[in-house]
Amino acid sequence: MISFKSIPNRTVLARIFYGVAVAFICYRWVNHMLLSQLVNPVLTYVNTDATYIALSYLGIPQLLTHHHSIALVFDLCFFAAALGAFLFPNRQYLPVLFTVLLGIYEVTGYTYLCFHKHNLTGMWICSLMFCVVDPRGFTPMFYLTRYYTLFVYGSAGFWKFFRGIWNLPGHFPVILKTDAMTYMVEHSSGLRYDVIAWLIVHPGLLDEVMILTCFFQISFLIGFFTRKLDWFFFLYAISFHLLAYFLVYASFFEFSVILITLLPLSFLYERSVRA
Amino acid sequence: MAVVIFIALQLYYTIQFARVSLYVDHDKPLPHPIAFEAFPFVVYNMYSGKITDWHNYNYYRFEADGVPVSVTGIHFFESEQLINPLDKYLAYEPDSFNQEPLHSYLLYTLGTGDNTQQIYDKVSNHGTANCHDQYGRWLIWYLSRMQGKTIHAVKIFSCHYQYSGSGKPEKINENLVFEYHDQL
């Protein structure tokens, strides 16, 4: 546990973040999710999101997905920016370039996915803090990003209380039945199948899990006042994402890179001058 | 200053989401279109929305050249790229790909001028000519890449299920909802 004044070590954090970013870009390339691999998708979904509307009106998603060579250049620049920022973490233009390209990739990708996920938004917010190269400026950006992380998980719990589903009997079982339907239809055996089927016939347990989840999530707001629970928040968030992936294939792994702001590992911080 | 603006906008959209939630959760119509997020100011509600139909369990069955396609046999990135646009296609197709919530929002925000219609035509699917054929061609290409061989025809069935007492899904019925044959 950190016992001295905590100044985040930007270089180490940047190496971790951009290393993970490179890995995720490669993962998406292997699974044909880079823009050059979508090749002329037809349907779009901008909803009432002003950013999506603006980018679509400017024709950027269409330009990237309907011209393979342009999309390929974009993807290569995207990868190069992440790799460059990993190799040279103290060059300011690389994090800025990566942040811009990641934003365009996210909006374009989700426009044609026809669903506005927030998986990459966490990575984008995290990338913002690395746009500040000066260590004196980076420290407040790091802690603001930490507060944003706490806000995200806290608000997830808050909305469940606000909208009255935190203790609504049977609601979580319906969520599980709905999201796991595809898997349950296409499989008839296996550990995952058996676990999901067992949970479905024990809806009371799922209701209890929902209540616990809501309280755990809203407890993240305590993190605004103390850092002593950061280990708990980190482990809970990772566990939550792993369980969500196991049960309903809900992937938040790219988002979870923002959890590096909650990791109280001594090598991520350097002693302050005052300490 | 930038941080203050960011926090203010995030709080603004959070409050907007709260407003929308109050109307939706109490079955009241919105007085006017309300946008509750604008990237990067998004809402992380993570399954907080009430599901109103507790007995509607749907599964899309894909057939490529008459051979069933396993949606879970591919990476979830690709299965999402298959399923989500299909959901939107089936939602928009009965209304000729009009997207009324988007249209209403643009009219409310920008007024009723010609520019608004131009923006709507450009950012929506409403202006997409031959959407069925274009979507069908893309679907065939996408399935061909997934399967590693050239596909010439695709059929999609919407299957309605219920869960048995042992937690296993049981089919109630299925309907053909999309069909396309490569003309080449």
Dihedral sign of CA atoms B117, B122, B123, B128 in order = positive
pLDDT band at B184 (very low <50, low <70, confident <90, very high): low
Q: Name the closest residue on chain A to residue B168, using Cα atoms.
A: A197
CB of A62 less than 8 A from some CB of B: no
A118 and chain B: CB distance < 8 Å anywhere? yes
Whole-number pLDDT of residue A22:
97
Residues of A in contact with B159 (CB under 8 A): 185
Query: Taking a C-beta distance cutoff of 8 angstroms, is the pair B11, B41 a contact?
Result: no
pLDDT band at residue B112 under the 50/70/90 scheme: confident
3-state secondary structure of B57: strand
Residue A149 neighbours by CB distance under 10 Å: 26
Give the chain B residue nearest A125 (alpha carbons): B40
Write out chain B residues lying below 8 Å of A159, CB-based: 17, 21, 43-46, 48
- Selection from A119, A126, A130 nearest residue A148 by Cα: A126
| B61 strand-pairing partners | B157
B12, HSE (Cβ side, Cα atoms, 13 Å)? 13
pLDDT of residue A271: 64
- Chain B, residues 99-128, CB within 8 A of chain A, namely 101-102, 105-106, 119, 122-125, 128
Can you give the pLDDT at residue B144? Answer: 92
pLDDT in tens, B1-46: 888 999 999 999 999 999 999 999 998 999 989 999 999 999 998 8
Residue B75: count of CB within 10 angstroms of its CB: 17
| Residue partners of A158: CB distance under 8 A and separation at least 6 | A217, A218, A221
Where does A219-249 have alpha helices with state H?
Answer: 230-248
Q: What is the pLDDT of residues A90-100, one digit of tens each?
A: 998 999 999 99
Model pTM score:
0.93
* Complex ipTM: 0.93
Are the Cβ atoms of B168 and A168 closer than 8 angstroms?
Answer: no
Specify whether the backbone of B175 is left (phi greater than 0), alpha (psi in -120 to 50) or beta.
beta
A33 vs B85: CB contact, 8 Å cut-off?
no
User: Virtual CA dihedral for A43, A47, A49, A54, nearest 10 degrees?
Assistant: 40
Q: Distance (Å, rounded) from C-alpha A198 to C-alpha A220?
A: 30
Tokens of B23: 């109307």
pLDDT value of position B47 = 83
In this predicted structure, what is the pLDDT of residue A248? 85
**Stretch A66-77: mean pLDDT:** 95
Chain A contact for B153, CB < 8 A?
A: no
Q: How far apart are CA A230 and CA A247, in angstroms?
A: 26
CA distance A121 to chain B (A): 7
Sequence-distant (6+) residues with CB within 8 A of A139 are: A7, A8
Interface contacts A/B by beta carbons within 8 Å: 182
B148 shares contact with chain A (CB less than 8 Å) = no
Q: Which strands, in side-by-side order, build the sheet including B169-181?
A: B67-69, B57-64, B153-163, B169-181
Rounded to 10 deg, the angle between the A171-179 and A230-248 helix axes is: 60
Taking contacts as CB-CB distances below 8 angstroms, the residues of chain B near A45 are 88
CA dihedral A143, A144, A148, A150 (to 10 degrees): 30
- Indicate whether B85 pLDDT > 50: yes
Q: Which of A125, A163, A197 sits opposite B49 (nearest CB)?
A: A163
pLDDT digits (tens, 9 = 90+) for A198-218: 999 999 999 999 999 999 999
Inter-chain contact A42–B135, Cβ cutoff 8 Å?
Answer: yes
The CA–CA distances, whole Å, from B10 to B6, B36, B39, B58 equal 6, 10, 10, 35
Rounded CA gap, A55 and A107, in Å?
8
